[in-house]
Amino acid sequence: MSKLDFKTTVAQEEAYLRIVYPTPSDIPSCLSLFDDYLSCNVIRNQIKSLYRYGERRECAQKVEDFKFCLLHTSMHPEEKRDAWIRRRAEWWANRRLGKSSEGVWDIREEPLKSFPKPLSEAYGVQQPIE
């Protein structure tokens, strides 16, 4: 498993998010964040979450995103974009470094030496040309 530290992971996420949100108009507006929060609490989504996971859906992160947006409305658009990217990068970094199903196995850089060859190589069968 690769051992990344928090600072490196945040830097990687920031670089990616700067590509995803190239201009200040690309970050979500406060209204869209509020809509996300309301849609999280809709009875249909809560029932679906109860059915799938046995518990209600947690919407606290959506409220925090909305509050963050409201607190930064007076900032210059470029500063607001930078603050949003930093916040999201930290969130993604925490998620990447936390426990996940991907943390169970180590990623192989090359196949095992005793791993069997594909059938096409083992029997000399050529792949059809498309």
What are the domain boundaries of the chain?
A: 6-93
Considering the entire predicted model, what is its pTM?
Answer: 0.68
The answer to whether residue 39 scores a pLDDT higher than 80 is yes
Three-state SS sequence of 5-59? CHHHHHHHHHHHHHHHCCCHHHCCCHHHHHHHHHHHCCHHHHHHHHHHHCCCCCC
Q: What is the token pair recorded at 39?
A: 């849609």
Fill in the DSSP letter of residue 103.
G
Task: State pLDDT tens for residues 74-84.
Answer: 999 999 999 99
Q: What is the token pair recorded at 130?
A: 């498309």
Q: What is the token pair recorded at 28?
A: 């979500």
Helix, strand, coil distribution of the chain in percent, nearest 5: 60, 0, 40
Task: State pLDDT tens for residues 12-36.
Answer: 999 999 999 999 999 999 999 999 9
Determine the pLDDT at residue 105. Answer: 72
